[in-house]
Amino acid sequence: MKIMTIIGTRPQYIKIKPLYDYFKKSGIEHILVDTCQHYSDNVSSVFLQEFNLSLDCKLDIGNSNPIEFLSECITKTAYVIKQYNPEFVLVIG
């Protein structure tokens, strides 16, 4: 089974930790994608290191206005889903 999880903000890094550990222990193929909604690498890197999360993909959308952000997020997410072809996609809210 291949599961993709999409995260992007500080609370989502915290929420994903138990699932991330479960997938790792279960041998489930897990793809962790970060939309990089924090504009500072310091914010995300602190949580990724603290929770020992390893990203498979960073969308690196950047600091654009909300409409451009949403458009780029949808486009890049669609590309990543096609590239990895997961059976399930979890979007952490």
Q: What is the pTM of this model?
A: 0.87
Convert the pLDDT of each residue in 12-55 to its tens digit: 989 999 999 999 999 999 999 998 876 666 667 787 888 899 99
Instruction: Please state the domain extents for the chain.
Output: 2-91
Is CATH 3.30.360.10 the classification given to domain 2-91?
Answer: no
For position 9, what pLDDT does the model report? 84
Strand boundaries in 1-92, DSSP class E: 2-7, 29-34, 57-58, 88-91
For position 49, what pLDDT does the model report? 86
